[in-house]
Chain A
Amino acid sequence: MKLQVEIAGKSFKNPVTTASGTFGSGAEYEAFVDLAALGAVTTKGVANVPWAGNPTPRLAETCSGMLNAVGLQNPGIDLFCKRDIPHLKEKGASIIVNVCGRTIADYVEVVERLSDEPVDLLEINVSCPNVKAGGIAFGQNPDALFEITKEIKKKARQPVVMKLSPNVTDITEMARAAEAAGSDALSLINTITGMKIDIHRRRLLLANGTGGLSGPAIHPVAVRMVYQVHKACSLPIIGMGGISTGEDAIEMMMAGASMVAVGTANFHNPGATMDVLEGIKSYMEAYNIVDIHEIIGCI
């Protein structure tokens, strides 16, 4: 059974990674998951300087989902390079670093700082709905997305994966803009903007007002968008959005994803990534699939 997949010339031992922001830099999950057994660890968004993020409450549960408005709290690229990357390498993990920023210069600074680090892919977060400046502003306008992708590609030593927002009218327009600017791959979807009202106190529950919806509730939206993007452009896709079982992952791969990321499911089940991987294997066995590529984009 061949589970190995490639994204932009980089090879991963299997198609299962983690969705940025749900897995820290991996260390907290080591009691439950062998990080080297994952296709890759995708780390929480990191910026050029430390960010404190939003006030609390940052979280709200919804039916089959959750809202978060963490606001990309992160320790900054210096500590990340000093502490998190060496730790992941020591554990034998492949690394996808999620990069965030407020300005193009912020993103470029992080990407340049990562030039000589043992990082497999750079996932560029232009789709976080919880920060005021930067972030999603680049992900909702095709011209802005083209511009930032082009600037990042000029400096990046590792392949660039632009992470797309579902909070747009036509995600294929965004995908084509990123492709035209030279992005090596795409990941989608980030969270869907939502809101929850505390009816007892008559106020918005999250301190940030709005938050990003994730979890099984968004899986059909993610499958639809991965399918559309796969048809609209030729870049490899890392698919994410509500994947909690092997079946969910298979669906996403049939829609066109070469790799899948497990996110919110880690909160319900810290071993979710391994359960998804086992589920993929069981499906392949049941249908006599020799190579996972047989199902990628088969629909």
Chain B
Amino acid sequence: MNPVKEKAVIISQKRIAEGIFDMSLRCPGAASLAEPGQFLNLYCRNETRLLPRPISICGIDKEKGNLRLVYRVAGAGTKEFSELKTGDILDLMGPLGHGFTIKDKPAILIGGGIGIPPMLELARAISGRKTCVLGYRDEPFLLEEFAKIAPVAVASEDGMTGVKGTVIDAIREKKVEGGIIYACGPMPMLKAVADYAARQGIEAQISLEERMACGIGACLGCICQTKEKNHHTNVNNSRVCKDGPVFDAKEVVFP
């Protein structure tokens, strides 16, 4: 399915934690096609910032034609987005990438840091048994919304919320069980998740992050090494923006 380029209207935006913003957009074209795990390219208004910012989709409302993004201000581009007000226009393209493939098995959804938001829409989309495991550095966000959908185990680096430690620590301590893992978060977390899934003998779908330019698979800026040769690139590299961002953990060679 081809992505759509459209001018989205900001419906609402608020800061929900230190440096974390929650934005809702009216973009019926992109919303009608979006699936959990996909992302949008957001374009800066300031033209000295050329590259689109890839932001994962946190919520999909196809009926209203809305998408919700929860993102971290990481630099000048995302700071620009965080200053947009209701009624402002934002250029975007999407939905992009290959999202999660929901399987009919008890699910463990793992989110770490700014990898947490895309797990919310996935949690909504999974109708069967599921447990969410969320890892924060410090201040939690979206926690109450997850708690309304599924049982939640929490880990935080500072130990202020939930288990002190990593998401794997929380899984062990809370005895979280499932037949498949879906995860998004920083690379060290994803590697730990991949190792854990391998030891448990269960499938893990992991969503990777990489610096991107085009977002549509042309520039080969964002690749991850893979065990098998990718049919498109003809080398052991897959494009995070197009073949991913969600990959079978068994396929990925961690740096």
Q: Main SS of the interface on chain A?
A: loop
In the complex, the answer to whether A264 meets B235 with C-beta atoms within 8 Å is no
Partner of A22, one of B3, B218, B224: B218
What residues on B are CB-neighbors of A59 within 8 Å?
51, 211-213, 221-222
Interface positions of A from 228 to 287, Cβ below 8 Å from B? 264-271
Count of CB-CB pairs between chains A and B under 8 Å:
107
Q: How far is the CA of A23 from the CA of B217 in the complex (A)?
A: 9
Q: In residues 96-124 of chain A, which contact B (Cβ within 8 Å)?
A: none
Name A67-97 residues within 8 Å CB distance of B: 68, 70, 73, 75-76, 79
User: Bound complex: CA of A148 vs CA of B53, how far in Å?
Assistant: 40
**Are A73 and B233 closer than 8 Å at their CB atoms?**
yes
**Distance, CA A266 to CA B217, complexed state (A):** 12
Q: Which B residues are CB-close (under 8 A) to A68?
A: 213, 219, 221
- How far, in whole Å, are A264 and B219 apart by their CA atoms in the complex? 10
Which among B17-25, B42-50, B106-114 touches the partner chain? B42-50
A64 touches B47 (CB 8 A): yes
Interface of B, helix, strand, loop or mixed by DSSP: loop
Question: What residues on A are CB-neighbors of B232 within 8 Å?
Answer: 75
Q: Are B50 and A215 in contact (CB under 8 A)?
A: yes
Considering only CB atoms and an 8 Å cut-off, how many residues of chain B contact the other chain? 35
Given A60-B211, A68-B213; A24-B236 close (CB under 8 Å): no
Please tell me if the beta carbons of A268 and B50 are within 8 angstroms of each other in the complex. yes
| Chain B residues in 8 Å Cβ range of A265 | 50
Contact present for A70 and B219 (CB under 8 Å):
yes
A61–B50 contact, CB under 8 A? yes
Residues 70-92 of chain B, each 1 if its beta carbon lies under 8 Å from chain A, else 0: 00000001000000000000000
Identify which of A46-54, A155-163, A183-191 touches chain B. Answer: A46-54
Output the least CB separation between A87 and chain B (Å): 12
- B221–A28 contact, CB under 8 A? no
Say whether B164 faces chain A, with CB atoms less than 8 Å apart: no
Mask: chain B, 93-115; 1 = CB below 8 Å from A; 0 = not:
10000000000000000000000
Contact, CB under 8 Å: A79 / B234 = yes
Smallest beta-carbon distance B239→chain A, Å: 10
Counting from the closest, the 4 A-B pairs by CB-CB distance are A75-B234, A24-B218, A31-B2, A28-B218
16 A-B interface contacts by CB (under 8 A):
A21-B219, A24-B219, A44-B218, A50-B234, A50-B235, A51-B235, A52-B235, A56-B223, A58-B220, A59-B222, A60-B211, A65-B50, A73-B237, A216-B47, A266-B218, A268-B52
